[in-house]
Amino acid sequence: MDYGEVESYLVMHGYATPDQVREAREWQRTTGGDFFQILIGRGVNSRDAYETKAVVMQVPFVDLTVYKPDTSAINSVPAYIANRHNIIPIKKDGTTLYVAMSNVNDVTVNDDIRLASRCYVRGVLAVPEEISLAIQRYYAVQ
């Protein structure tokens, strides 16, 4: 990960101070862990941290407080899989299913979704807490 790019993005958008980024980087070097979770622990807003992570990873980001998932997408994945992996399907386009998740690179999660939905899975990054709330909101209706 290019910490210079991360720091520039966070600071330029007013999401974090240079000190917060440096402290998080130092903490990660000494203790390990997810850099963006460390940033959140240092006072950076979850949404801002995950949006930055999406930019750095070059994957789409979805704000689930604004975006309403398609019913066809929700119906493609059983609630138990959404709950188990903390994911929410948001859009279905033919045989491609767009799924909000906090770790788009988790092969096991992507495989479970693909097998259940019989769709090609495209992960989009979202804040984990927003995903949990969306699962409660959209799967409770079914």
pTM of the model: 0.87
The tens digit of pLDDT for each residue in 30-64 reads 998 888 999 999 899 999 999 999 998 899 999 99
3 band by pLDDT with thresholds 50, 70 and 90: low
Distance CA 79, CA 13 (A): 36
In 10 A of CB 47, how many CB atoms? 18
| Domains observed in the chain | 3-57 (no CATH), 71-139 (3.30.300.160)
The tens digit of pLDDT for each residue in 57-99 reads 899 999 999 999 999 999 999 999 999 999 999 999 999 999 9
In 10 A of CB 108, how many CB atoms? 8
